Every structure is written in C-alpha cells, then in structure tokens.
Amino acid sequence: MGVVTVHEYAVAAGYVGSALGVVMVVPQITRIARHPSLPGVSALSWSLTTISCLGWMTYGFRTGALPQIPGNVLLILGAVSVVLLIDAGTARGRRATLLAGACAVQLGIVWTIPANDAGYYASIIGLFSSLPQLYDSIGNWRARRDSGVSVSTWSLRIASQICWLVYAIGTVEVPVGIAAGVALSTAVALVTLELAARSAAAAQSLSSALAEAA
C-alpha cells in the first residue's frame, strides 16, 4: 500500500469542502420555507455567491481542479433557489432576470481571461459575497430579532472553508486560499452575530412575558 501524499490529502479535503458547500444550502432553503415572513436574509449576498461559484466552476474546468466542479454546480442551483425564495422587495421575475444577466456576463469574462486569472476573479467576488449578509446580520443583532438566516448553513460554511484552506495549502492554490480565509472569517462573524441576536430576542421575549404575568 502506497503512502498517501500531502497533495492527495488536500484533494480529499477539497471534495469534502465541496460536499459541505452543497449541503449548507439545504438548511437555509428549509428555514425560508418554514418561516417565509422572517427578515434578514440577503438576496444580494446569495446572488454574489451564485456569480462567484460560476467563476470557480469555470476555473475548475479550465485548470483541471476537479474538486471545484461538482460542488459549485450544485451550490449554484441552491444559491439561485435561495435568491428566488426570499420574500424581498424586488419581484421574483425581476430578480431572476437580473441574476441571469449577471451570470451571462460572468461566464463571458471567466471563459475569456487566462485560466488562473479566473480563479483570482472568482476569489475577488467571493471576498465580497458575504458582506451584504454580514451587514444585514449586524442589523438583526442591533434590533435583537430572530431572522430568516440559518445558523446551520453558516456553520457548515465554516467547516467547508476549513477544508478548502487545507486544499489550498496542500495544492498551493493561492486564489483558493485567499477566498477560503476571508469566507471563513466572515462566516464566523455571521454565526456569532446571529446567535447573539437570537439570544437577545429570547431574553427580551421572556422579560416581556414575565412582566405581563406580574
């Protein structure tokens, strides 16, 4: 039996990260379906996630980074579902049209520029993809309200990005490492804010209930 190399461990971590990236969408879709009236889920953030994943999928095809392909294909489908399911101010048809146009532009760019640059380009979009949700989660925390954001989704994202960091280190893929590092730190901040907001909302509800009982 041959010795497993660092590169093989890294590739395995990439596939695990890819699988977790796909699974992470399910709790968010479920929470939106169960609690459609809850605010706080950013359609912009999930739209940017879709566009970023298109770039990573293309990067995988063009460079032979196979772990990038299956997970991103499924994550794109999941992210699009979230964008369309959210009860946002913009009509679903308009959201779908705008997202389709942005994806078409993205594909045109990432198939035209050099293959390695496609990874950096996707990485740049990924750097900003979670910021709208982070902004909304800060609002949830300040308002001390329960939101439609799934903590399970972002916890799975933390695990996924740890795997992608391992992959990036083992395969020396700098754009992947940059994107994973930023995504990891943002996801940790999001989970912290959402848990704090829900704890404050629960405490506030309990205080109100006790006051009414008194």
Q: What pLDDT shows up at residue 87?
A: 82
Confidence of residue 36 (pLDDT cuts 50, 70, 90): confident
Between the CA of residue 53 and those of 18, 75, 127, what are the distances in Å? 11, 7, 12
Pairwise CA distance, residues 214 & 208, whole Å: 10
Taking residues 76-82, what's their average pLDDT?
A: 93
Q: What does the chain come to in residues?
A: 214
Taking residues 91-97, what's their average pLDDT?
A: 89
Residues 42-69: tens digit of each pLDDT: 999 999 999 999 998 998 899 888 777 8
Pairwise CA distance, residues 145 & 41, whole Å: 13
* pLDDT at residue 1 tops 70: no
Pairwise CA distance, residues 156 & 29, whole Å: 14
Pairwise CA distance, residues 135 & 214, whole Å: 37
* pLDDT at residue 26 tops 80: yes
Where b means 16+ CB within 10 Å and e means fewer, 44-67 reads: bbbbbbbbbbbbbbbbbbbeebeb
Taking residues 5-19, what's their average pLDDT?
A: 87
Q: What pLDDT shows up at residue 14?
A: 87
Closest alpha carbon to 147 in 208, 209, 114, 191: 191
The residue type found at 91 is A
Q: What pLDDT shows up at residue 41?
A: 92
